[in-house]
Amino acid sequence: MAKGDARLFNRASQVVLVRDGDRTVLTMANDYRGDPKEFAVVVPVPTFLEREQIHVGERTVVEHLDAYSAPRLVEYFDPDPCMRVAMEMKVAAQDAAKPASAASRRERSLGVTVEARYTVGEYDILILSARESAGLETWLRENGYRIPDGASRVLGGYLKQKMRFFVAKVNLEEQARLGFSYLRPIQVAYESPKFMLPIRLGMANADGPQELFVYALTRRGRVETTNYRTVRLPADQDVPAYVKEDFGNFYKALFAEQVRRERMQTVFLEYAWDMGWCDPCAADPLSREELKTLGVFWLDEAPEAGRGGSNVFVTRLHVRYDEAHFPEDLVFQETADRQNFQGRYIIRHPFTGTIACGVGERYREEVRQRQEQEARNLATLTGWPLDPIRVKLKLPPPGGEKKWWERIWGGR
Amino acid sequence: MSEAPARRRLDPRLYQIGALAGLLAWGLLARRLDVTPGRAALLLAAALGAQYAATRIWRLPSFEPKSALISGLSLCLLLRTNSDAVAFGAAASAISSKFLLRWKGKHLFNPTNFGIVAAMLATGRVWVSPAQWGNAAFFGFLLACAGILVVHRAARSDVTFAFLAVYLGLLFARSTWLGEPAAIPLHRLQNGALLLFAFFMISDPRTTPDSRGGRILFGSLVAVGAAWIQFRLFRTNGLLWSLALFSLAVPLIDRILPGRRYAWAGNTTGPMPAKGVFDETLDPPRLLPGLLRSQPAGPPVLRVLRGEGGRPTL
C-alpha cells in the first residue's frame, strides 16, 4: 500500500475553523522545523482575547483530520471475467504546513498598546492594539519581528476595523520544561460575526504562491468562500494502476494542474462529509475527544431534528494563492449543503489468472480500452503528457490500433 | 396573439428570458454550478405551475408564462438547496407572493427575491453561493446583463444606475478609508451575483417605486442596506436581504413621491399591448371577488390595460 509524503506541499499552512453561530475556534497548525527562536506568528483577530480564550492544542489531532479528509485512492481487482466479485483497498495522501518567523523585546511606544501578555504552553503571546499602522510596524520591527515592507498598509486596514493583533513567539524555557521538540498548534476561541481568514498579511512577504488548507467543522453543512469561487476537485475517475506507487506525486500534480486550469482564481473543495462516517475511510473519523480538543463546543447537543448523521460536518478546502489572484481575505459562509464529496480516485487491476471460458479475447480488449481511458484521465487530471503514460502502460501507440476493416475479417 | 401594432417594442422580458437561459446554460456547462438539469426543470415547472394555478384561482384573462419563467430561471441561477421539496416550495411561494402580498394593486416583492428570502427564513435549508460565477468571464457576463438596458431603452434603468452608483461608491470609499489597494473593491465588483441583482432583480419595474425620484431613492437605500449588512453586520447575501427589506418601504416611497404605474410590453405612454398581453396587476375587486367589492376600482390605466387594446386614458 502506498502513502503520500507528509510534506507534499511546501509553505503550506493548516487551519481548523470550528464555527457555529458567531462563535469561532481557530486552530493554527504548522510544521515549522527551523530554530524555535526564529518562530513568530502575527495574526489579526476580530476581538480582544482573554487568557482562557487561548489554548495550545495537539498536533496529532490536526494530522488526523488531514489524513481523514485527504484525497484517496481506491483499488479494485477485476475478478475472473467468468465470475465477478470485487475487493477494495485504499491509500491516503497527506499534506503539511509552515508559517512566518521572527523574535521580540520592549514594551510600548509609537501608540502601540500591549493589551495583554500571556504565556500559554510553550508560547509567549501578546494581544496588541495600535492607533496607527506605521507605529505598529515600527514596534514589530524594533521587537525583532520581520515585517515585510509595505505591511503597514495591510496592518492599517485591520486596525481601522478595530481588529487586534495576536502575536506569538516561542518561550524557549517553557518549551524545554514541557519537553516538546516541535511546535504545537495555537488555538484561539472568539465570538464575532466575521467568518473569515486573514491572508493578506502573509502574502506581503511571500516570494511565490502559498498553500493553505482549511478544515471547517460546522453543525449544519458544507463551508464555502463567498468572495472566491469554490469548486470541487475533479474526482471519481479511473486512473492507471501505477498511480498507487506515487499517489502523493499524483495528488500534487493534479492540484497544480487544476489550479492552472482555473487560473489560480478558485478555492478547491477536497472533502465534505458528515464526521460520523466515511466510505472509503482514508483514516478513521475523529473521536469525540479529538473533536473537543479542536473546539467543537456543541457536541453534547442533539443533532437537528429530522436530519440523520452526526452534528459535525467537515469541509476541507485547499487553496493556492498569491496577491495578484487573491487580493482580499477569505470570507466564508456555512451552507445547508450536506451532500458528501470526496477526492476519490480509482484503480482497477485486470484479472491476471487464466481465463478458462470463451470471453478471454473480449475481456482483454475491454481492459485495453479501459487502460486507454485511464491514461487519458491521468493526462487530463495532472497535465502530464499522454505519450509517456501510454508507454508506461505498454499501450499500443494510437496509430497501432486495428483498422476497422481489419476487425471485420480478423485481419492481422 | 393577434398582430402586434407596428414597431412595437420588444418585450424586455423576452430579452431577460434569453439572457437568463443563456447564463444558466453556461453555468451548467462551463461553471459547474450546483444545480442539476433535473433541479432546474423542477424549479421551472413549479414556477409555471404556480402561475397557472394563480391564473385559474384569480380568473385572469389568460395564462402569462413570461414573468414566471423569469422567476424560475433566476431561482435556478441563485437558489441552492439539497431538498426538492424546499426548491418546489420556494418557487411556488415566489410566484404566489405576486398575488398574495400586494399593496394598492402592486405586488410588494420581486418574486425571486421573496422566494429565496422566505425559504431562507422558513427552512434554513437554502443557501446562495454569491461567488459561484468567479470573475473569469466577468465582461461577457456584464455584456449579457447590460443588454437589458438597451431593451428597456433606459425606461427603468434609473434604479439600476442609482443602486450601482451608490454601491460602488460605498465599496471604493470603504477601501480608500481602510487603505486597501484598488484590487480589492474591483474584485468585489467582478461578481456575477451582483450583476444579476443589479440588472435583473432590483430593476424589476413591477416592484420598484413609480416615480423616477422614488426609484433613485429606492436603489440608493438598497445599496446602503446591502453594504451595511455586508460590511457592518458581516453577513452574507446583503443584497437579497436589503432588497426584501426596502421593498416593504416602496408603498411609502410611492406615497411621498407618486408617479405613473409601469406595465410590461412597452412604456405606459407608448402603443398598447396586443390582445392577450395583459397586466397582472388587477384592481382589488378583480383580485378577490366579492370580498373587496366595496373598494374603489384601481387606477384608470390599469383597467384600460386589461382591455383589448386602445390607448390609455390618462
Q: Are A386 and A328 in a shared domain?
A: no
Q: Does B178 touch chain A (CB under 8 A)?
A: yes
Q: Report pLDDT digits (tens) over A155-182.
A: 888 988 889 999 888 888 888 888 887 8
**Residue to substitute from A321, A328, A332, interface B, most B β-carbons within 10 A:** A328
Are B83 and B179 in the same domain? Answer: no
Q: Nearest CA to CA, how far is A317 from chain B (Å)?
A: 15
Please tell me whether residues B252 and B159 are part of one structural domain: yes
Instruction: Judge whether A239 lies within some domain.
Output: yes
Which residues in chain B have Cβ-Cβ distances shorter than 8 Å to A195?
234
CB contacts, 8 Å: B172 with chain A = none
Question: Is B129–A226 a contact, with Cβ atoms under 8 angstroms apart?
Answer: yes
Q: For residue A42, how far is the Cα from the chain centroid? A: 21
- Contact criterion met (CB < 8 Å) for A227 and B187: yes
Q: How far apart are the first and last CA of chain B?
A: 25
Q: Which residues of A touch B126 (CB under 8 A)?
A: 336
Distance from CA of B86 to the nearest CA of A (A): 12
Instruction: Among B127, B155, B182, identify where a domain stops.
Output: B127
Number of domains in chain A: 2
Contact B181/A at CB under 8 A: yes
Chain B residues 82-101 within an 8 A CB cutoff of chain A:
82
The verdict on a CB contact (< 8 Å) between A227 and B234 is no
On chain B, the residues whose CB falls within 8 A of the CB of A156 are: 178-179
pLDDT in tens, A236-249: 999 999 998 889 99
Of the listed ranges A184-188, A392-396, B40-44, B216-220, the least confidently predicted one is A392-396
Tell me whether residue A220 is in a domain. yes
- Chunked in runs of 10, what are the mean pLDDT values of chain B (314 residues)? 50 87 90 90 96 92 91 94 95 93 86 95 92 79 77 75 95 93 91 88 86 94 96 93 95 89 53 37 40 40 36 33
Q: Name the pLDDT band for A224 (thresholds 50, 70, 90).
A: very high
Residue B79 lies in a domain: yes
Instruction: Evaluate whether residue A157 is within a structural domain.
Output: no
One domain, residues B142 and B122: no
A326 & A367 share domain: no
Residues B169 and B161: beta-carbon distance below 8 Å: no
Whether A266 and B178 lie within 8 Å, measured CB to CB: no
Least trusted range by pLDDT, from A329-338, A371-380, A403-412, B195-204: A403-412
- Show residues of chain B in contact with A263, CB under 8 Å: 136
The answer as to whether A171 is a domain residue is: no
Please tell me whether the overall predicted TM-score, pTM, comes out greater than 0.95 for this model: no
Last residue of a domain, one of A313, A346, A379: A346
pLDDT for the residue A110? 74
pLDDT tens-digit readout, A19-28? 999 999 999 9
The pLDDT of residue A67 is: 92
Residue B173 lies in a domain: yes
- For chain A, the first-to-last Cα distance in angstroms comes to 40
Q: How far apart are CA A103 and CA A124, in angstroms?
A: 11
| Nearest one of B145, B142, B153, B69 to B111, comparing CA atoms | B69
Interface test with A, best of B39, B125, B172, B229 (most A CBs within 10 A): B125
Segment A94-105 mean pLDDT: 33
Of B80, B134, B177, the CB nearest to A335: B80
Last residue of a domain, one of B225, B256, B287: B256
The beta-carbon contacts of A248-253 under 8 Å, at least 24 apart in sequence, are A248/A2, A248/A3, A248/A4, A248/A5, A248/A8, A248/A93, A248/A94, A250/A345, A250/A378, A250/A382, A251/A4, A251/A8, A251/A70, A251/A71, A251/A93, A251/A343, A252/A8, A252/A9, A253/A381, A253/A382, A253/A383, A253/A384
Q: For residues A272-297, give the mean pLDDT.
A: 91
Q: Quick one: B118 and B222 in the same domain? A: no
Q: Domain range for residue B100?
A: 12-127
Please state the rounded mean pLDDT for residues A338-345: 93
HEC assignment per residue over chain A: CCCCCCCCCCCEEEEEEEEECCEEEEEEECCCCCCHHHEEEEEEECCCCCHHHEEECCHHHHHHHHHHHCCEEEEEECCCCCCCCCCCEEEECCCCCCCCEECCCCCCECCEEEEEEEEECCEEEEEEEECCHHHHHHHHHHCCECCCCCHHHHHHHHHHCCCEEEEEEECHHHHHHHCCCCCCCEEEEEECCCCEECCHHHHHCCCCCEEEEEEEEECCCCEEECCCEEEECCCCEECCHHHHHHHHHHHHHHHHHHHHHCCCCEEEEEEEEECCCCCCCCCCCCCHHHHHHHCCCCCCCCCCCCCCCCCCEEEEEEEEECCCCCCCCEEEEECCCCCCEECEEEEEECCCCCCCCCCHHHHHHHHHHHHHHHHHHHHHHHCCCHHHHHHHCCCCCHHHCCCHHHHHCCCC
Q: What residues contact A408, with CB distance under 8 A and at least 6 apart?
A: none
pLDDT at A146: 72
Query: Do A258 and A366 share a domain, yes or no?
Result: no
Q: What letter represents residue A184's amino acid? A: R
Determine contact, residues A294/A18, Cβ cutoff 8 Å.
yes
Largest CA distance in chain A: 92
Residue A166 lies in a domain: no
Number of domains in chain B: 2
Q: Which of B127, B158, B193 is the last residue of a domain?
A: B127
Residues B78 and B178 in one domain: no
> Which percentage of chain A shows pLDDT scores above 70?
85
Same domain, A213 and A318: yes
| Domain end position, chosen among A295, A313, A346 | A346
B104 plus B155 within the same structural domain:
no
Residue A197, in any domain of the structure: yes
- Taking an 8 Å cut-off on Cβ atoms, the answer to whether A336 and B130 are in contact is no
The top-scoring range by mean pLDDT among A180-184, A199-203, A389-393, B131-135 is A389-393
Do A208 and A330 lie in one domain? The reply is yes
Residue A389 covered by a domain: yes
Examine the fold and report which residue of A346, A377, A393 is the final residue of a domain before the chain moves on: A346
Q: How many CB atoms lie within 10 A of CB A304?
A: 13
Which chain A residues are closer than 8 Å to B238 by Cβ? none
B179/A133 CB distance under 8 A: yes
The upper half-sphere exposure of residue B17, i.e. CA atoms within 13 Å in the direction of its Cβ, equals 13
Could you say which of A153, A335, A339 has the minimum Cβ distance to residue B179? A153
Which of A191, A203, A226, A319 is the mutation pick for testing B, counting most B CBs within 10 A?
A: A226
Within a domain: A64:
yes
Residue A368 sits in the same domain as residue A278: no
Rounded Cα–Cα distance for residues A303 and A220 (Å): 9
Inter-chain touch A328–B187, beta carbons under 8 Å: yes
Nearest CA in chain A to B130: A226
Q: Do A231 and B181 touch (CB under 8 A)?
A: no
Of B124, B180, B181, the CB nearest to A336: B124
B296 — contact with chain A (CB < 8 Å)?
Answer: no
Under a CB-based contact definition with an 8 Å cutoff, are residues B2 and B276 in contact?
Answer: yes
Residue A408 has pLDDT above 90, yes or no: no
Lowest mean pLDDT of A318-332, A345-359, B207-221, name the range: A345-359
Please say whether the beta carbons of B99 and B92 come within 8 A. no
In-domain check, residue B87:
yes
Name every residue whose Cβ is closer than 8 Å to that of residue A224 and which is 6 or more positions away in sequence.
Answer: A230, A267, A269, A315, A317, A332, A333, A335, B129, B131
* Same domain for B245 and B152: yes
Contacts of A357 (CB under 8 A, 6+ apart): A81, A82
Let me know whether B142 and B123 are in one domain: no
Q: For residues B205 and B123, state if they share a domain.
A: no
Is A362 found in the same domain as A323? no
Asked if A327 lies within 8 A of B184 by C-beta distance, the reply is yes
Lowest mean pLDDT among A78-82, A85-89, A295-299: A85-89
What pLDDT is recorded for position A219?
A: 93
Q: Chains A, B: CB contacts under 8 A, how many? A: 78
If asked whether residues B115 and B167 sit together in one domain, one would say: no
Q: In Å, how far is A210's CA from the nearest CA of chain B? A: 19
Q: What is the pLDDT of residue A94?
A: 38
Please, which pLDDT band fits residue A133 given cuts at 50, 70 and 90? Answer: confident
Q: Are A328 and A197 members of one domain? A: yes
ipTM: 0.82
| Chain B residues within 8 A of A266 when measuring between CB atoms | 134
From the list A227, A328, A335, the residue facing B127 with the nearest CB is A335
B305, part of any domain = no
Residues A373 and A256 in one domain: no
Q: Residue A306's pLDDT is what?
A: 54
Q: Are residues A68 and A198 in the same domain?
A: yes
The reply to whether B266 falls in a domain is no
Say if CB A251 and CB A8 are below 8 A apart. Answer: yes
Structural domain range at position A250: 12-37+46-98+182-346
Residue A313 pLDDT > 90: yes
Judge if A342 and A363 occupy the same domain: no
List, as ranges, residues 117-136 from B with C-beta within 8 Å of A: 124-127, 129-136
- Report the mean per-residue pLDDT for chain A: 83
CA distance B193 to chain A (A): 11
A85 and A221, same domain (yes or no): yes
pLDDT at residue number B157? 85
Please give the pLDDT value at position A31.
Answer: 66
In a domain, B53, yes or no: yes
Residue B98 and residue B156 in one domain? no
- Band of pLDDT at residue A364, cut at 50, 70 and 90: confident
Chain A residues with a Cβ under 8 Å from any Cβ in chain B: 133, 153, 156-157, 160-161, 192-196, 220, 224-232, 262-263, 265-266, 327-328, 331, 333, 335-339
Taking the C-alpha atoms of residue B287 and residue B238, their distance in angstroms, rounded to an integer, is 33
pLDDT band of residue A18 (cuts 50, 70, 90) is very high
